[in-house]
């Protein structure tokens, strides 16, 4: 009876805490931000995201997520100092979470769900933070700082696999602890059971049906670093990075042309001159939606009234345009796919999905064990309350950096004599971009949806 009273007291305490609002709040806030951002309203998007960031010494809740969103909105507005400052804060938060123990997170997500754990970012978040910072610095012609950020982005990609393996080892330890604590419910057996994955395949068939990139490597970050080192004359480093990029995107002939030009610069000692690269940041990246499944039957006993899982799945949004036509006074070309951010996100998400499933199972198992114990003591009224609590707190973590694009595209051409490009979206309104006098230029164009105003900048070298 004492155990029952403790359980009910815990339920009532938790119900009075803002856990349920915590499940719904970020979802509604993300939907509002997405609405503003998809309309290319960078000012309202920035204001909304900034208002969600808590002013505290240590990051908590969705601070990191909203700091990323704010930095992206300011970048779209062309406010590079504010964007870089916010990306700096994001990087500090990522570093803070890397250094923290995960013990408290496991306990919190076990009692309620993963939404009570602070948003800590993904590996691709960190890579894109440093890549965007590098691009901000290029726009401000701070090439030494851009070099540092590209090197950090490349180092993040190198270390990502090590970090992921360390997380898996820690998760396996938590599984062993959970099985020792709740002997009637075997988490590992559920994870290894073919029925579990049959249910997942039925509910989420696209989980494994995609073409993955190499482990935690983002072709956009790698290519932009290679292009940068080409343009600042570091051809040895550029050649290695462009080879890696071409290996990931062999169908993009622009990268092959870059690689050939870099090889010629190395062998002949002639710098690359009078070229223009057009980068197209296209559309909107994925969001997460929730789906639910029942646990495999061998976990369920007659003394458990409700056991279920709520899991996230990726939902992909549209591009703005399939390509852009780039017209000069002498030639016309089209942008070609450079990096599919859907694939970047899906590659990491599919690798992390087993960990997400495991943590969700640990949470469901702990709740089932408490419900079982109440039924076993013939306190069915308490078990009913626990079943209700289990149902109410079964919610997937749908937090994701939604300001990322669907893909990046690339075109290259000779510098036109009149220093003017005409960008033509298929079915859209053409617009002209003037290029100042320079040796080479990178024209960066961002369009989130058809018909929205493009954001663009010209970075000169």
Can you give the residue ranges of every domain in the chain? 2-460
Please give the C-alpha separations between residue 271 and each of 141, 144, 245, 262, in angstroms, as whole numbers: 19, 19, 21, 9
Query: pLDDT tens digit string along 199-257?
Result: 777 878 777 777 778 777 899 999 999 999 999 999 999 999 999 999 999 999 999 99
Q: What is the pLDDT of residue 297?
A: 40
Q: What is the pLDDT of residue 355?
A: 83
Confidence at residue 20, expressed as pLDDT on a 0 to 100 scale: 46
Q: 440-447 and 431-434: which strand pairing?
A: unpaired
- Indicate the angle between helix axes 380-392 and 2-16, nearest 10 degrees: 30
Quick one: pLDDT at residue 169?
A: 65
| Cα separation, 437 vs 344, whole angstroms | 36
pTM over 0.75: yes
Neighbours of 43 (CB within 10 A): 13
| Nearest-5° Cα angle at 170, 167 to 175 | 125
- The set of residues, in sequence order, having a beta carbon less than 8 Å from that of 203 and lying 6+ positions away, is 291, 292, 293, 313
Radius of gyration of the chain (CA): 25
pLDDT of residue 304: 52
d(CA 428, CA 246): 30
Query: What pLDDT was estimated at residue 107?
Result: 47
The continuous run of DSSP H or E covering 18 comes out as none
Which residues, in sequence order, are bridge partners of residue 441?
276, 460
**Residue partners of 418: CB distance under 8 A and separation at least 6:** 329
Closest CA to 339 of 437, 454, 217: 217
Closest-CA residue to 311 (of 197, 157, 407)? 197
Give the angle subtended at the CA of 38 by the CAs of 36 and 41, to the nearest 5°: 45
| DSSP helix/strand/coil, 143 | helix
State which residues of the chain have pLDDT below 70: 1-25, 101-114, 164-191, 295-307, 366-394
* Contact (CB, 8 A) for 248 and 337: no
Please write the tens of the pLDDT for every residue from 295-338: 654 455 555 555 678 899 999 999 999 999 999 998 999 999 99
Q: Return the closest-CA partner of residue 394 out of 315, 305, 293.
A: 293
Residue for token digits 């700096």? 88
Sign of CA dihedral 52, 56, 57, 58: negative
Predicted pLDDT of residue 113: 57
Determine the pLDDT at residue 335: 98
The tally of CA atoms less than 13 A away on the side-chain side of residue 106 is: 19
**Do residues 299 and 199 make contact, with C-beta atoms less than 8 angstroms apart?**
no
């Amino acid at each position: 009876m004492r155990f029952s009273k403790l359980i009910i007291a815990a339920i009532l305490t938790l119900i009075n805490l803002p856990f349920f609002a915590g499940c719904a709040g970020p979802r509604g806030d993300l939907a509002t931000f997405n609405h503003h951002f998809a309309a290319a309203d960078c000012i309202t998007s920035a204001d909304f995201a900034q208002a969600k960031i808590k002013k505290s010494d240590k990051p908590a809740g969705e601070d990191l997520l909203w700091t990323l969103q704010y930095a992206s909105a300011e970048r779209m507005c062309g406010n590079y100092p504010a964007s870089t400052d916010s990306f700096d804060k994001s990087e500090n938060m990522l570093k803070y979470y890397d250094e923290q123990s995960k013990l408290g997170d496991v306990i919190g997500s076990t009692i309620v769900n993963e939404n009570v754990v602070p948003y800590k970012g993904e590996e691709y978040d960190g890579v894109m933070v440093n890549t965007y910072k590098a691009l901000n610095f290029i726009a401000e012609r701070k090439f030494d700082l851009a070099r540092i950020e590209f090197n950090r982005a490349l180092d993040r990609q190198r270390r990502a696999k090590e970090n992921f393996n360390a997380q898996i080892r820690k998760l396996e330890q938590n599984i062993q602890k959970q099985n020792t604590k709740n002997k009637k419910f075997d988490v590992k057996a559920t994870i290894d059971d073919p029925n579990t994955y049959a249910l997942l395949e039925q509910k989420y068939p696209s989980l494994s049906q995609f073409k993955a990139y190499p482990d935690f490597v983002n072709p956009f970050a790698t290519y932009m670093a290679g292009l940068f080192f080409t343009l600042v004359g570091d051809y040895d480093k550029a050649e290695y990075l462009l080879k890696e990029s071409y290996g990931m995107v062999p169908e993009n002939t622009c990268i092959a042309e870059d690689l050939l030009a870099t090889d010629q610069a190395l062998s002949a000692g002639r710098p690359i001159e009078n070229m223009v690269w057009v980068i197209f940041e296209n559309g909107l990246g994925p969001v997460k939606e929730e789906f639910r499944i029942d646990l495999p039957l061998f976990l369920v006993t007659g003394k458990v009234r409700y056991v279920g899982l709520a899991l996230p799945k990726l939902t992909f949004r549209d591009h703005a345009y399939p390509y852009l036509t780039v017209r000069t006074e002498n030639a016309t070309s089209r942008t070609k796919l450079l990096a599919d951010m859907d694939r970047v996100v899906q590659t990491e998400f599919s690798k992390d999905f087993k960990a997400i499933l495991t943590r969700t199972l640990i949470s469901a198992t702990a709740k089932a064990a408490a419900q079982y114990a109440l039924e076993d003591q013939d306190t069915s009224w308490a078990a009913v309350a626990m079943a209700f609590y289990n149902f109410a707190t079964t919610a997937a973590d749908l937090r994701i950096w939604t300001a990322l694009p669907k893909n990046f595209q690339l075109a290259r051409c000779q510098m036109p004599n009149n220093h003017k490009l005409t960008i033509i979206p298929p079915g859209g309104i053409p617009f002209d971009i003037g290029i100042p006098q320079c040796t080479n230029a990178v024209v960066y164009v961002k369009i989130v949806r058809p018909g929205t105003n493009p954001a663009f900048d010209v970075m000169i070298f």
